[in-house]
Structure 1
Amino acid sequence: MTEWTVHGTRRVYESEWMSVDLDDVEVPQGERFEHHVLRLPFPSTGVVVIEDEKVLLMWRHRFTTGAWGWEIPAGRLEAGEAVETAAIRETEEETGYRVGTIEPLITFNPLNGISSTTTHIFVGTDAIKTGEPDPAEAARIEWVPLNEIHSYIRKGLIPCGITLVALNTYLTLRASSGPA
């Protein structure tokens, strides 16, 4: 097995949130072409907040897909910010709850065929209500029983890929090792 060869990169768009590049690549069989790559300057974080067999979820609308759905709190790091700090900050900003403890759950790349971005997911516990959620982030916040998550997924109520990976990973690992 050999790796693709990158001969160069041409930036076609850049903002503080992302860049879009055309990478000049060559596949092992010898074909050479330009491949679009979305690059984000900072990783993302998400938190599966657990309390009393329930998970904290946000009901929100995504204009990009025109769909409503349940999501975990998530967002990008600020310059120089640690992933744990960003996870705690994003949870509080988006939900009005501050987690007291976070543990790493999974790190993954949600679009590794076209993007270099990485998402770090944590499990948060000891949540304390500190204020109201940001109305731009969520229409409502609810503690959803963990035993209802698979039903929500089957009904299409959790369309967010990051949330699906986070919740399925949490539930799978929990089932194999017992409650957190």
Structure 2
Amino acid sequence: MKKFEEKTIKTEKIFEGKVITLQVDDVLLPNGKTSKRELIKHPGAVGIIPITNDNKIVLVEQFRKPLEKSIIEIPAGKLEPGEKPEVTAVRELEEETGYTTDSLEYITSFYTSPGFADELMYLYLAKDIKKMAQPVDGDDDEFVERMELTLEEAKRYVSNQRIHDAKTNYAILYLEMMGLK
């Protein structure tokens, strides 16, 4: 038995969409009582930290409907069924930034919101990025604007909450720890 395990008694699927599935589980708690858990099932995602030859971070600004505002983020996207994370990383880099790379380095993975979702995000560093001669089309419903910031500029964007999401904050912290100049 896993420490503090909650055994699922019943699962009720509430919604199945393009990106997520919402379910409610009845669970048996370690103390013998029961409770309900509202869960989001997600196929997983990748985030890419693209670094230009002059040490700028390539970011994208996009409107996020749950927040009702635009924020600046590292390029990212969800895994397609059966797709390896590194394939998703290159695809998203190309679609969102117009850059590509042959130099992709896995950094880590982390759960984005483990209190209610199982989304696992894989984080990659992309160096030696090259502008594509013929950029690929992104998703029809996704509108992004590319920008390039120094690490110091990105840290200022964090402090004024123009960068305000966990994956991008993690990326900036990682770059600072690695000594990006």
Q: State the TM bucket, normalised to the shorter chain.
A: 0.7 to 0.9
Could you tell which deviates more after superposition, 23-32 or 62-71?
A: 23-32
Correspondence for 1:118 = 120
Q: CA deviation at 1:179?
A: 4.4
Tell me which of 61, 66, 70 is aligned to 1:64. Answer: 66
Q: Is the 8 A contact 1:58 1:71 kept in 2?
A: yes
Q: Is the 8 A contact 1:49 1:55 kept in 2?
A: yes
1:132–1:77 distance in 2 versus 1, CA, 3 Å:
closer
Correspondence for 1:106 = 108
Give the residue type in structure 1 aligned to 2:68: G
Q: CA deviation at 1:66?
A: 1.1
Q: CA deviation at 1:132?
A: 7.4
Q: Is the 8 A contact 1:96 1:133 kept in 2?
A: no
- Unaligned 5+ segments in structure 2 are none
Q: Is the 8 A contact 1:3 1:28 kept in 2?
A: yes
Give the residue type in structure 1 aligned to 2:77: G
1:170–1:25 distance in 2 versus 1, CA, 3 Å:
farther
Q: TM-score when scaled to structure 2?
A: 0.87
User: Which structure 2 residues correspond to residues 49-60 of structure 1 after superposition, within 5 A?
Assistant: 49-51=50-52, 52-60=54-62
Give the residue type in structure 1 aligned to 2:168: T
User: Which structure 2 residues correspond to residues 1-180 of structure 1 after superposition, within 5 A?
Assistant: 1-40=3-42, 42-51=43-52, 52-130=54-132, 131=135, 134=138, 137-172=142-177, 174=178, 178-179=179-180
Q: Is the 8 A contact 2:24 2:36 kept in 1?
A: yes
Q: Is the 8 A contact 1:55 1:146 kept in 2?
A: yes
RMSD across aligned C-alpha pairs, in angstroms? Answer: 2.1
Q: TM-score when scaled to structure 1?
A: 0.87
Aligned pair count reads 175
Paired residue secondary structure (2:8) = strand
